[in-house]
Amino acid sequence: MAKKLLLTISAFFICLFSSLGQSALAIPQARQMPRLVDGAGLLSTAQADALLAKLDEISESRLCDVAIVTVRSLGGKSPTDYADDFYDYNGYGMGDNDDGILLLISMEGRDWAITTHGSAIRTFTDDGQANIMSQVGQYLSSGNYALAFDSFAALCNELLAQPTDVGSFRRFLNLLPFCLLLGFGLSFLFTAVMKAPMRSVRMRTTANSYLSDGGIAITKSSERFLFSRVSKTMRQSASSKGSGPGTRISSSGRSHGGFRGKF
């Protein structure tokens, strides 16, 4: 009887831990963590409260999560994998595409990593991220973490505030008729100017007028090799995991942008 009870209890805990493990790997439908997780304790309480309020305001107004996470150790993961997994398995992202950007700081090896998802991949290009971290990295290196995180939030807000691709395309369509009219006008003007000195020229059906009476005399001939053309096609590596320029696939199977560095 005691043995049967022990087996029943063991089976119960095995099922419980198994379900917990599966749920831990599932992507939540809603965000489970705040937009600021200072696990490394780099900020004072007042600094953390002010920064979280700023991140919440930017995220809600721009409809794109802007989050910052600090940890003491990566637990054996790479900074990029840790950032991607933290974003996915804690339910970050807003809207149908879970749009957002997350900055990870690890004090173990003084690493930083950025992960982007959804529309944030297009908004925060590689050049845009490099510009952000060129400024933020200076504050990180000097140990001024409050200013570093505040600058990151402000620079993200600036990029999110810029016109979207749809707005730029609409402005292009509005200007298209004017551009076409201007192009035709300039083309007609240039053609008329170039044609004016050639009014004395008449069409010829033969090339006799260009030949001398004695014909053509070839005094020397030779052959010269000018150039060659070689076409090459890149072979895809079997270990490649990327899904496009500047993107990668995380352990959850979702596409992420962003890159990493040290401070």
Higher model confidence: residue 235 or residue 96? Answer: 96
Q: Is residue 57 part of a domain?
A: yes
Q: Is residue 100 part of a domain?
A: yes
Q: Is residue 63 part of a domain?
A: yes
Position 179 scores a pLDDT of 67
Position 23 scores a pLDDT of 42
Q: Is residue 14 part of a domain?
A: no
Position 148 scores a pLDDT of 98
41 pLDDT tier (thresholds 50, 70, 90): very high
Position 207 scores a pLDDT of 65
Domain count along the chain: 1
- Tell how many helices (H) and how many strands (E) occur in the chain: 7, 7
Higher model confidence: residue 209 or residue 142? Answer: 142
Q: Is residue 89 part of a domain?
A: yes
Q: Is residue 259 part of a domain?
A: no
Residue-wise pLDDT tens digits, 150-166? 999 999 999 999 865 44
Residue-wise pLDDT tens digits, 104-147? 999 999 999 999 999 999 999 999 999 999 999 999 999 999 99
197 pLDDT tier (thresholds 50, 70, 90): low
Position 217 scores a pLDDT of 66
Identify the CATH number of the domain in which residue 55 sits. Answer: 3.10.310.50
Q: DSSP per residue over 127-192, as a string?
A: HHHHHHHHHHHHHHHTT-HHHHHHHHHHHHHHHHHSPPHHHHHHHHHHHHHHHHHHHHHHHHHHHH
Q: Are 174 and 190 in contact (CB under 8 A)?
A: no
75 pLDDT tier (thresholds 50, 70, 90): very high
Full residue range of the structural domain in which residue 116 is found: 25-162
Q: Is residue 117 part of a domain?
A: yes
Q: Is residue 263 part of a domain?
A: no
